[in-house]
Chains A and B, each alone.
Chain A
Amino acid sequence: MTLSPRFSLTVGLLATLCLAAIIHILVVLSIPRNVQHSAYDNVATHGPDRQFNLLPDVQPGKEALPDLDPAMKHAACRFQLADGPVLFDASIPVPFWSIGLFNAAGEAVYSLNNRTAGAERLSMLVLTTEQLSILRENPPENLEDLIVIETETPISGFALLRAYVPHPMRSGTVDQALMAARCGGI
C-alpha cells in the first residue's frame, strides 16, 4: 500500500513530535543525575564533614553557594547518618536564625527558625529510626530537651545554618557564634 504524500507528511510530523516529547522528558529527568556539582558536593569544599564550616560572606562574585541572602551569615555541615546520629548544637545571639536540613539531592528534609525552636539554643538530634531505638535503651539525660528528627533511611545530607546580621558591627560576634556551633556525635 502506498500513502498519499500529505498523509506521509502528517505521519512524519506526528512521529517527530512524539519522539521530541520523549527526548524532552528524558533530558529533563536525566539532568539531576548528571550534574557535576550538586549543593551537597559544593558544601564539602568549605571544610571537613561532621562539623560546621563558616561560609565566606555573601558578596558579589564570591558567593559560596548560589542564591544565598547577603544579609545573612551562613555555616554548613555535611553529615552521613550511616556514620552515626548527628547532634546540632548552637547558640546564636541574633534576632533571627534558621537551620535547614537537606538530603544529598538538595531537597529540604526539615527546617526551623529560632522562634519555632522554642528556645534560644538550638539543640537538635538527627538519626534513623533504628539508631533512635538503640539510643532509647540507654538514653542520654537531655534527650527530652532535644528536637529529635527521625529518618527512615540513613540519609546523607547537609545542614545550612543562617544567621541574620542586624548591623555590620555585630558581624564578629555572629562569626564566633557560628564557628562555635557544633555538629557531630552525641
Chain B
Amino acid sequence: MNETFLRPEHGEADWYDARLPRPIRPHRGHPLRTLATVTLVVLLAAILGISSAYVIIEREEPLNAVTIGPWHAYPKAGTADADPYSVAIYTRGAVVPLASGEGLALVARKDSAGHLLDPTCVYRIAGQTPSARLWTLTAVDGHGKLVETLPGRVNLASDSLLRAPDGSFEIMAARRPHSGNWLPLAANAKASDGLRLVLRLYDAPVTTGAALDGVSMPAIERQGCP
C-alpha cells in the first residue's frame, strides 16, 4: 500500500498539505512581510526615479540635439516645442535661450577624438563655420559659467579673426598666449573644472534643425596636455 491510497478524497481535508503543488496551496497572510516588501519597493523606486531625473537634468544636455562633429545644437530648446527635459534644464538654470530669429548656439563638450575637453590642455580649432553674419566663440567651464583668464577676455569674434585666403581659420585655445588667433582658457583651472566651447552664430540661415545637415563646423584637436 502506498501513501496516496490513504489520503482522503476531498481536497479541503488537507488544505495545508505541503505536498500540494505550490500555485494551488492556500495563501497565509504575512502582514508585516507584505508591508516591508511594499515599503522596500516604494523606497527603491523613489531613490531610482529621483536620482535618474537628477542625473539627466544635472548633465545639462537637452535631448533632440543636432550633432555636427563635436558640436551640439538644441534648436528646439527654449521654444514651445521643447521636450520636457530641456524645459526642466532651461527653467532650472533660468537660461534665456538664443531665439531662432537671433541666432544659434552650438556647444562642444568633447574634442573631435571624443575626449572630454580639459581646460589645462591646448586645443586647435580649425576649419569653417556655417555662413553667418557674425559669430563668437566663448570658453566656459563645465557648468557654463565664465572664467577668469590671463588677458581678461574669454571670447573671440568672427570680425576680428585672422583668416587664410580661402576663408578658413585656425584658433589656438590655451591658457598661455599663442600667436595668431588665441582663445584664452581659465588661468588657474583644474582638469576637474571642465571646459565647454560655445560657438554662437548670429543671423545664420541654419537656425532651424533641418538646415544643419551637411554644414561644416570647425574640428577641435587636442595639441597637448601638461
User: A-side interface residues toward B, CB under 8 Å?
Assistant: 1-4, 12, 15-24, 26-29, 31-32, 35, 37-39, 41-42, 58-61, 63, 65-71, 95-96, 98-102, 105-108, 110-113, 115-116, 160, 162, 164, 166
Check if A67 sits within 8 Å of B203, measured CB to CB. Answer: no
Check if A100 sits within 8 Å of B202, measured CB to CB. Answer: no
Pick the residue among B37, B96, B200 that contacts A65 (CB under 8 A): B96
Chain B, range 125-162, C-beta contacts under 8 Å to A: 133-134, 136, 138, 144-149, 153-155, 157, 159
Pick the residue among A20, A99, A111 that contacts B44 (CB under 8 A): A20
Total residue contacts A-B, CB cutoff 8 A: 189
Question: Smallest distance from the beta carbon of B196 to chain A beta carbons, Å?
Answer: 11
Check if B99 sits within 8 Å of A22, measured CB to CB. Answer: no
**Distance, CA A37 to CA B25, complexed state (A):** 59
Task: Kindly list chain A residues whose C-beta atoms are within 8 Å of the C-beta of B54.
Answer: 27
Known: A24-B52, A58-B146, A60-B147. A106 touches B154 (CB 8 A): no
**Distance, CA A16 to CA B133, complexed state (A):** 53
Check if A23 sits within 8 Å of B46, measured CB to CB. Answer: yes
Check if B148 sits within 8 Å of A39, measured CB to CB. Answer: no
Interface residue total, chain B, C-beta cutoff 8 A = 62
Task: Kindly list chain A residues whose C-beta atoms are within 8 Å of the C-beta of B144.
Answer: 66-67
**Distance, CA A136 to CA B147, complexed state (A):** 51
Smallest CB-CB A-B distances: 6 pairs = A23-B49, A111-B99, A111-B101, A19-B45, A108-B99, A20-B48
Does B190 reach chain A (CB closer than 8 Å)? no
Closest residue of chain A to B78 (Cβ to Cβ) is: A108
Pick the residue among B40, B84, B91, B102 that contacts A100 (CB under 8 A): B102
Question: Smallest distance from the beta carbon of A105 to chain B beta carbons, Å?
Answer: 7
Known: A35-B94, A108-B100. A20 touches B49 (CB 8 A): yes
Does B23 reach chain A (CB closer than 8 Å)? yes
Q: List 28 A-B contacts (CB under 8 A).
A: A2-B22, A2-B27, A16-B45, A16-B48, A17-B48, A21-B49, A28-B85, A31-B92, A32-B91, A37-B94, A38-B91, A39-B95, A39-B96, A60-B149, A61-B146, A63-B146, A65-B96, A67-B95, A69-B136, A70-B138, A98-B202, A100-B98, A105-B87, A106-B90, A106-B95, A113-B202, A115-B133, A160-B96
Check if A31 sits within 8 Å of B102, measured CB to CB. Answer: no
Task: Kindly list chain B residues whose C-beta atoms are within 8 Å of the C-beta of A59.
Answer: 146
Closest residue of chain A to B56 (Cβ to Cβ) is: A28
Task: Kindly list chain B residues whose C-beta atoms are within 8 Å of the C-beta of A111.
Answer: 99-102
**Distance, CA A24 to CA B136, complexed state (A):** 37
Check if A71 sits within 8 Å of B157, measured CB to CB. Answer: yes
**Distance, CA A98 to CA B103, complexed state (A):** 9
